[in-house]
Amino acid sequence: MTQRAQQLRIYLRRFGSRKTVPADLRAGVVLGAESVPDGLAAGVLAGVNPLAGLNAYLVGTVVGALTTGSVYMTVQATGAMAVIIADVPAVHGEGSERVLATLGLMTGAVMLFLGLARLGSLVRYIPTAVLIGFANAVAINIVLGQLSNLTGYASDSANRVTRAVDTALHFWLFSWPSVLVGATTITLILVLERFGLGPLSLVCAVIAGSALVQALPNDSVTLLRDSVAVGRSLPIPVVPSLASMPELVVAALSLALVGLVQGAGISGSIPNPDGRYPDASADFRGQGIANVASGLFQGVPVGGSMSGTALARAAGARSALTNLVAGVVMVVVILACGPLIGYVAMPAIAGLLILVGIRTVKPDQIALALRTGPIQIAVFVVTFVLSLIIPLQYAVLAGVGMSVILHVARQANRIRIVQWTFDDSSTRPVEEPPPATVDAGETLILTAYGALFFASAQSFREQLPAPADDATDATVVLRLRGTEELGVTFLSMLGNYRDELARAGATLMLSGVDENLASQLEVTGVLARLGRENVFPARTRFGDSVWDALAAIDKRRKRP
């Protein structure tokens, strides 16, 4: 068997075997049927043509099944990504189809680049406090963003929070038939779930809520067909708008970041059928390709959907065939029932989304973030508040940026220097605080705990003992074991400290110096300032480098 044939055989295993086909067919029908109202809701949530959400569900589900490293991952438009899209002004103006295509292509390009560069591990550097703050704010934004569709009152305030307040203050202007349809939809979902209908309760409730419109006064409730023509046709390719690329850069980066984080949650929690967890970088590549396809076929950006994946798994999915079947079901529904989709009531979709938003709020996660210290609280609160009052595309990046700054500040202030002393009965050191000064003839052995980098240089220097006016024949031995490199700021600080000691007649020695660090000292000229005889390489056995330094000090002092 050739290598290519072997690779094809391995690839085809993701679609299961004859034994798994029945289960995948059942799960695919459930996922496909539920994805139709969900897709329309995603478009509504994004504030674009609802069919763009449905197109994204169709294209993303099929292409994701073919390209991701995760067998079970369902790639669809997600609530978080839809809310970000809603905050991008360019997608709501003239030529929005071409702008959406461009946004999908740019988002996919970022994901694809990270996947090809095998940078799947990058998502672990995003603090959990940022994710908790963002996810819970998105949940609230979903609810607030649907109040106009639910009530029929359109506020023109600055953001979702102020629009919600303005809506509540104008309750007498509500369209009560719309409120009735939305409330009925929510109630039916809850009741049907109690009767064991599961995910299909969403489909049935939206259909029933939309049917209720026929018993209400004409034109009292907004229908999907009032804003978009729905026919029996599949999406066709659209040409991107290259001129809109500059204003979409931040949005594309934010969408890629959110989509990849959500996808990584699937990669890290759901193993493939062989028991191995999928490669996050492979999932990055698959989601990138799915975004390119979704953009070209008039869909909104997509990502790994935890809810879609969980639904497929709960319905009995055994392989990636489930997502292919779901795509076929969506095609059948669109071609067979396209015009009927136009009769879906907007308040019914709003009711579905409001219930989804409420269920997405995680009080236990919020409580955890608020119990993990002042820095994590600050990161959570800032991310949460910003995500409510400014466009989400900026809030995501602001939360990540602030967490990086706070992490650097925290690491810089966690540097601690201790002194090693030895008694006559043991060669094991005793750690104690270092003295404030270095006196004549004294030998100090100092070691540091924490990250040694540019931001910690000042804190490190403040803890080093200053030389007395006369520190003749004194020596400071600074242990650097485990440090592979130091930045320019830190190296400059060491050179200046060496000069300060030298002016008082004292010497600075470095022990436990790694080969890479020794090379860095050499090329930066710091080694020449210290003197080669004062730098001792790391040894295999712990502490030997310190003893080398102490032996050199004894030898020097015994010289006539």
CATH T-level assignment (fold) for domain 416-558: Transcription Regulator spoIIAA (3.30.750)
Q: Using CA atoms, how far apart are residues 379 and 133, in angstroms rounded to an integer?
A: 8
User: What is the Cα gyration radius of the chain?
Assistant: 31
pLDDT in tens, 82-124: 989 988 888 887 788 899 999 999 999 999 998 888 777 666 6
Partner residues linked to 479 by β-bridges: 447, 511
Contact 222, 346 (CB under 8 A): yes
pLDDT bin (cut points 50, 70, 90) of residue 1 is: low
Examine the pLDDT at 290 and tell me if it is beyond 70: yes
pLDDT bin (cut points 50, 70, 90) of residue 507 is: very high
Least confident of 161-170, 181-190, 192-201, 307-316: 192-201
pLDDT in tens, 266-281: 887 788 888 888 888 8
Least confident of 31-45, 205-219, 304-318, 417-431: 417-431
Examine the pLDDT at 134 and tell me if it is beyond 70: yes
Q: What residue segments make up the domains of the chain, in order of their start?
A: 29-406, 416-558
Q: Give me the count of residues in the chain.
A: 560
pLDDT bin (cut points 50, 70, 90) of residue 425 is: low
Per-residue pLDDT, 413: 66
Return the higher-pLDDT residue of 367 and 456: 367
Per-residue pLDDT, 503: 92
Task: Report, as an integer, the average pLDDT of 415-429.
Answer: 80
Q: Return the residue matching tokens 């949530």.
A: 45
Examine the pLDDT at 323 and tell me if it is beyond 90: yes
Q: How many helices (H) and strands (E) does the chain have?
A: 23, 10
Percent of the chain with pLDDT over 70: 96
Q: Using CA atoms, how far apart are residues 487 and 408, in angstroms rounded to an integer?
A: 14
Examine the pLDDT at 403 and tell me if it is beyond 60: yes
- Helix, strand, or coil here: 154? coil
Task: Report, as an integer, the average pLDDT of 485-514.
Answer: 90
Cα 209 → chain centroid: 36
9 Cβ contact partners less than 8 Å away, ≥ 6 residues apart: 1
Return the higher-pLDDT residue of 3 and 106: 106
Q: Using CA atoms, how far apart are residues 270 and 303, in angstroms rounded to an integer?
A: 16
Task: Report, as an integer, the average pLDDT of 123-140.
Answer: 80
Q: What is the mean pLDDT of the chain?
A: 87
Return the higher-pLDDT residue of 72 and 11: 72
Task: Report, as an integer, the average pLDDT of 208-237.
Answer: 85
Per-residue pLDDT, 124: 67
pLDDT bin (cut points 50, 70, 90) of residue 190 is: very high
Q: Using CA atoms, how far apart are residues 287 and 103, in angstroms rounded to an integer?
A: 14
Per-residue pLDDT, 359: 86
Cα 433 → chain centroid: 41
Task: Report, as an integer, the average pLDDT of 209-218.
Answer: 89
Can you read off the two tokens belonging to residue 474?
């004194």
Residues 108, 396, 117, 309, Cα dihedral to 10°: -60
Least confident of 186-190, 413-417, 453-457, 483-487: 453-457
Can you read off the two tokens belonging to residue 125?
């550097």
Helix (H) or strand (E) holding 103: helix 96-116
Return the higher-pLDDT residue of 228 and 64: 64
- Helix, strand, or coil here: 510? strand
Task: Report, as an integer, the average pLDDT of 417-432.
Answer: 81
Contact 468, 440 (CB under 8 A): yes
Task: Report, as an integer, the average pLDDT of 530-558.
Answer: 88
Q: Which residues of 272-299 are buried (b: 16+ CB within 10 A; e: fewer)?
A: beeeeebbbbbbbbbbbbbbbbbbbbbb
